Each structure stands twice: as structure tokens, then as C-alpha cells.
Chain A
Amino acid sequence: GAVVSQHPSRVICKSGTSVKIECRSLDFQATTMFWYRQFPKQSLMLMATSNEGSKATYEQGVEKDKFLINHASLTLSTLTVTSAHPEDSSFYICSALPVGTGTEAFFGQGTRLTVV
């Protein structure tokens, strides 16, 4: 099956620093990747849609200057949380939509970010 690798799985950073999370599709190409955030005991909330070679589309209420998304190739999208604060601590999950399909996107393992 299609595999999406997300790295790192866990990261602890100091308040005010930036953290980069990578999302890679290992055995397929993805022009579209999605970034979600999930707070404890809540569901996944879509943050942004990442499109290869173009700017990401952010959902309402998500600060694009704080959550920088780069999708430079068909197999890699990155999310950078800039100037992180404790309230950014969350579970971040990516998913990738294989080229040529319009339905099932495959999820990465998730990244647990803790800002201290």
C-alpha cells in the first residue's frame, strides 16, 4: 500500500524557536498534501492544503506566516511552525493524495510537538 512518512514523530522545542516537520510520500507521487492539527480528545482540523509548485491554501483562522508550508517536489511537503508558543503544542498530521486519484489520501504517522 501507499506509505507516507512523517518526521520527526516527536519534538520538544523552546518557546520562540521554529520547528520543521517533513511529510514524504515514499512510493507514490502527490501533487496535493494536507496538514492537520489535532488537540487532545478532539478531531483532526485541516490547517492547509499544500500544492506542489504553488502556494499553499490555508483554512480560515490559520496564520500563514506562522505555519509555513513548502511543497517543492511531488514527494515532499514541509510544515514549519515559526516562533512556536506553548499553545502550538499539538499533534500534527499530514496526508498525501496520490496523483491521478480524487479520493483516498494516505496519512503520515503524525508529529507530537511540545513547546516548553
Chain B
Amino acid sequence: GQQLNQSPQSMFIQEGEDVSMNCTSSSIFNTWLWYKQDPGEGPVLLIALYKAGELTSNGRLTAQFGITRKDSFLNISASIPSDVGIYFCAGPGGTSYGKLTFGQGTILTVHP
């Protein structure tokens, strides 16, 4: 089946630093989604990308849909303590468009 590989697995950064994480796939995805999960909560959608090459921002977050449609990255600028959490990439898998395939997540820790 389709798999998404995220890197790095975890990051420890100082408040104010910029962060970059990425997601790759062996197969083409037509939509890339980035979610954040806080402890004890379900994931929340941050950014959705629908077109190869698309660059989309949401506040301090910027994400890009790779030209090959096999990768995407998420940048967070000027990190703050509330950015702590697990970041997942996801995309529709198989023939059922609503069914999402998730990466294994990047754990972000921000030191004040």
C-alpha cells in the first residue's frame, strides 16, 4: 500500500528558531495535508495542498506540494512554545478518496 515517510522523527529547538520537516512517498499523491496533534487530542488540519508546486501559508506556517507529487515540506517560522506537538503529513490513499494515509509523524519540542 501507499506509505508516507516523514523526517526528522523528532526535533528539539529553541523558541524563535525556524523549523523544517518533510514528507516523501514512493507513489504520487494528488493532495497533501499537514496536521498537528496535541497530547490527548485528535489531529487538526493546518494546511491543505491540491496542486503540484503549490506554496501555501497559514500564519507562520508554510507548506509546499512538490513538483514530482511525491513529496511535501512544512516550515514553521519563529517557533513558539505552543508549536509543540506531533506534525503529520497525510494524503488520500487508494481508490477511496476520503481514506487518508498518514506519515508516522514528526515530534516537535520547543524550549523557551
Verify that A and B bind, or say they do not: no
A-to-B contact residues, CB < 8 Å: none
B-to-A contact residues, CB < 8 Å: none
